Amino acid sequence: MEEAHQHPITAELDLHTFRPSEIGELLPEYFHECQLRGMRSVRVIHGKGTGTLREGVHTLLRRLPSVESFHYPASVGSWGATQVILHAPSATADPTND
């Protein structure tokens, strides 16, 4: 991740401050750091917009071994945010190997 985008690792990641080209590297690293901190449920805010970013995020989530499941219920922002359940840290590889 670029130094300009260093954010505290919390259970919520707002993608509005990142370029779409950064998401493919950002999400695996973010999930890995969350797992190391014992966070298994995280919220990724991608916004509603045209849905292009949401679909890109969901495509990536389907491929990442660190992701157990994901959904976007109304309680976490519906179409504007996705709730992600991560595997326990021992069940996933280093994010650089995804």
Region 71-97: what's the mean pLDDT? Answer: 74
Region 1-19: what's the mean pLDDT? Answer: 76
Region 75-98: what's the mean pLDDT? Answer: 72
Fold of 6-91: Ribosomal Protein S8; Chain: A, domain 1 (3.30.1370)
3-state DSSP call for residue 19? Answer: coil
Q: The dihedral of CA 21, 78, 63, 25: what is its sign?
A: positive
Joined tokens for residue 33: 């750091």
Q: Give residue 52's pLDDT band: very low, low, confident or very high (50, 70, 90).
A: confident
Q: Which amino acid is at 48?
A: K
> Would you list the domain boundaries of the chain?
6-91
Beta bridge partners of 82: 44
Q: Are 81 and 75 in contact (CB under 8 A)?
A: no
